[in-house]
Amino acid sequence: MSLDNLSRIDLNLLVILQVLLEEQSVTRAASRLHVSQSALSKSLNRLREALGDPLFIRTSHGLKPTSHAMQLGTKLPDMLQGLYQLTQPPSFVPASSDRHFSFAMVESAYETLLPYFIGPILNNAPNLKLDSYVWMEQSIQSLQNGQIDFGISGRDLHPQSDFQIDHLPDGIAHQTLFTDHQVCLVREDHPILAAVAAKQWDLQVYLEMSHVQVRCEGNDWWALDYHLAELGHRRRLSTTVPDFYGAASVCAHSDLIFTLPSSFARHAIKLYPLVELALPFEFIPLAYVLLWHERNDEEPGHRWVRDTICKSVAKAFN
């Protein structure tokens, strides 16, 4: 397609051509277009010159289209409809849309968040296709490049700010879904429970224990470990595993302690004989955040999915 050649054609003339084809009368076409017959005749002459064809032949019964005009008439309606759609505000109809949306989520979100919004999305938009992937270190770049539509990740909150996320690239927007806090899990008959009952559960005892840790985004350390390091402490990470359920299983079958978000701890306790303990020291809370690229801020489909996620999670956790 030569845009240079197309730019020399007044696209309004195509509308005039379509009306002339439908009415086959300058008088009726001029009345329908709310222009004078003289102005319409001038536009017809411009069309003839631009398209290199007489387009219409005058007869006693009005205008008779040439074979070229009739050929154009088979294509113009669809072309003009497409142009009309381009001039309309973008729209998204959930019930009939068959679009694809992709997510990258931290592993804990599959249990703690996905069940709350997958139903509302697919119940209202049954033909959507949702692809999900595990959140990884390069997922932010995938958001930037448009390879995924949404990210759900966990970040730690600082007391002095509403939300703090580390070094988000320009163009990445976020919305906090809910805040959480860290708790500990141990097996039901763990020896530490006697110390807890005797109110001897504190930072020193916590540090003396052996821990199981989930490896997140390729890192063995969490923000908690960096926080403890700033205080001159270090946990004894005896075992690292790639997922939360694996860590919960290890915890249930050993003396290792598992520190994790409270929202996931509730699910782990349903599956394994575990006991939840409060973290024995102050630590900043955790935020689960929805991430997307600002280019999609006003795109109706993205906005609908985003709003559905936010409303569904808010309803579940408030």
Query: 247 with 307, same domain?
Result: no
How many C-beta atoms surround the C-beta of residue 108 within 10 A?
25
Maximum mean pLDDT: which of 80-94, 169-183, 194-208, 282-296? 194-208
Contact yes or no for 76/18 (Cβ under 8 A) = yes
Chain mean pLDDT for the chain = 87
What does the pLDDT read at residue 222? 81
Q: How confident is the model at residue 89 (pLDDT cuts 50, 70, 90)?
A: low
pLDDT at 5 over 70: no
Question: Comparing 8 with 247, which gets the higher pLDDT?
Answer: 247
Query: 192 with 59, same domain?
Result: no
Query: 135 with 148, same domain?
Result: yes
User: What CATH number is associated with residue 176?
Assistant: 3.40.190.10
For the stretch 110-156, pLDDT in tens is 888 899 999 999 999 999 999 999 888 788 878 887 778 999 988 76
- Domain-located, residue 299: yes
pLDDT at 315 over 50: yes
For the stretch 23-79, pLDDT in tens is 899 999 999 889 999 999 999 999 898 889 999 999 888 889 999 999 988 888 778
Query: 154 with 221, same domain?
Result: no
Q: How confident is the model at residue 163 (pLDDT cuts 50, 70, 90)?
A: very low
Assign 280 to helix, strand or coil.
coil
- Domain-located, residue 278: yes
For the stretch 215-241, pLDDT in tens is 877 777 888 888 899 899 999 999 999
Which of 87, 114, 134 is the C-terminal boundary of a domain? 87
Q: Report CA 137 to chain centroid distance, whole Å.
A: 17
* Least-confidence region, from 8-12, 38-42, 74-78, 157-161: 157-161
Query: 275 with 233, same domain?
Result: yes
What does the pLDDT read at residue 160? 39
**Domain count within the chain:** 3
Which of 59, 87, 115 is the C-terminal boundary of a domain? 87
User: What CATH number is associated with residue 73?
Assistant: 1.10.10.10
Q: Report CA 19 to chain centroid distance, whole Å.
A: 43
Q: What value does the mean pLDDT take over residues 241-269?
A: 94
Q: How confident is the model at residue 80 (pLDDT cuts 50, 70, 90)?
A: confident
- Domain-located, residue 119: yes
Query: 250 with 262, same domain?
Result: yes
What does the pLDDT read at residue 158? 44
What does the pLDDT read at residue 165? 57
Give the residue numbers spanning the domain of 300. 100-180+287-317
Question: Comparing 6 with 38, which gets the higher pLDDT?
Answer: 38
Instruction: Find all residues with CB under 8 Å of 119, minimum gap 6, and list them.
Output: 312
pLDDT at 13 over 80: yes
Query: 46 with 194, same domain?
Result: no
Query: 211 with 237, same domain?
Result: yes
Which of 87, 108, 143 is the C-terminal boundary of a domain? 87
- Domain-located, residue 94: no
Instruction: Find all residues with CB under 8 Å of 318, minimum gap 6, and list them.
Output: none
- Domain-located, residue 43: yes
Q: Report CA 234 to chain centroid distance, whole Å.
A: 37
Q: Six-digit token pair at 276?
A: 């939840």
Assign 155 to helix, strand or coil.
strand
- Domain-located, residue 95: no
